Structure 1
Amino acid sequence: MRLILVLALIACGFWALTLWRAARHEARAEASHPPRGQFVEVDGTRIHAEVLGEGPDLVMIHGSNGNTRDMTYALAPVLARHFRVILFDRPGLGFSDALPTDAAGIDQQAAILARAARAMGSDRPMVLGHSYGGAVALAWAVNHPDSLSALIPVSAASNPWTTPLDLLYRVTSNPIGAAVAVPLIAAYVPDWYVTKSLEDVFAPQSEPGDYANHFGPGLSLRRGSLRANAMHRALLLDQIRSLHLRYGEITIPTEIVHGTADDTVNFELHAVNLSNQIKGANLTALDGVGHMPHHVAVDAVVAAVLRAAHRAGLR
Structure 2
Amino acid sequence: MLFSLTIIAVVLGLVILVQWRATTREAAADAAYPPIGELIDIDGVTVHARVQGGGPDLVLIHGASGNMRDFTFDMVDQLADRYRVILFDRPGLGWTDNLPQHAGAWNATAATPHEQATLLQKAADRLGVSNPIVLGHSYGGAVALAWGLLRPDETAALVLASGVSEPWEGDLGWQYKLTGSAFGSGIVIPLVTAFLPQGFIRASVNAIFAPQDTPDGYNDHIGTGLALRRTSMRANAQQVNTLLPEIKKMVAQYATLTMPIELVHGTADTIVPLEVHAAIATPQLPDAILTTLPGIGHMPQHVSQPEVVAAIDRAATRAGLR
TM-score bucket of the superposed structures, by smaller chain: over 0.9
Q: How many residues align?
A: 315
- Structure 1 stretches of 4+ with a deviation exceeding 6 A read none
Corresponding residue number in structure 2 for 1:207: 214
Letter in 1 for 2:64: S
Per the normalisation by structure 2, the TM-score is 0.96
Letter in 1 for 2:76: A
Counterpart CA distance in 2 for 1:234 and 1:212 is: 25
Output one character per residue of 1:121-168: Cα deviation in whole Å (capped at 9) or x when no partner: 003211000000001001111122123111001100111001213211
Letter in 1 for 2:231: G
Summarize the alignment of residues 68-217 of structure 1 with structure 2, pairs less than 5 Å apart: 68-99=68-99, 100-101=101-102, 102=109, 104-217=111-224
Residue 251 of structure 2, aligned match among 244, 252, 263:
244
Output one character per residue of 1:35-75: Cα deviation in whole Å (capped at 9) or x when no partner: 11001222111110111111111000000010001111121
Output one character per residue of 1:176-225: Cα deviation in whole Å (capped at 9) or x when no partner: 21111111011011233211111111111111121101011111100000
Bigger Cα displacement from structure 2, 164-173 vs 267-276: 164-173
Per the normalisation by structure 1, the TM-score is 0.98
* Contact 1:191–1:217 (Cα < 8 Å) also in 2: no
Letter in 1 for 2:232: S
**1:103 positional shift:** 5.6
Corresponding residue number in structure 2 for 1:285: 292
Counterpart CA distance in 2 for 1:304 and 1:138 is: 16
Report the structure, 1 or 2, having the larger helix content.
1
Output one character per residue of 1:242-275: Cα deviation in whole Å (capped at 9) or x when no partner: 1011111101111111111110111011111111
Counterpart CA distance in 1 for 2:54 and 2:268 is: 34
CA RMSD of aligned residues (A): 1.0
* Contact 1:182–1:226 (Cα < 8 Å) also in 2: yes
Aligned-partner SS, 2:276: helix
Aligned-partner SS, 2:9: helix
Aligned-partner SS, 1:52: strand
Counterpart CA distance in 1 for 2:258 and 2:280 is: 16
Corresponding residue number in structure 2 for 1:62: 62
Corresponding residue number in structure 1 for 2:106: none
Counterpart CA distance in 2 for 1:163 and 1:219 is: 29
Corresponding residue number in structure 1 for 2:16: 16
Q: What runs of 5+ residues in structure 1 fail to find an aligned partner?
A: none
Counterpart CA distance in 1 for 2:110 and 2:292 is: 34
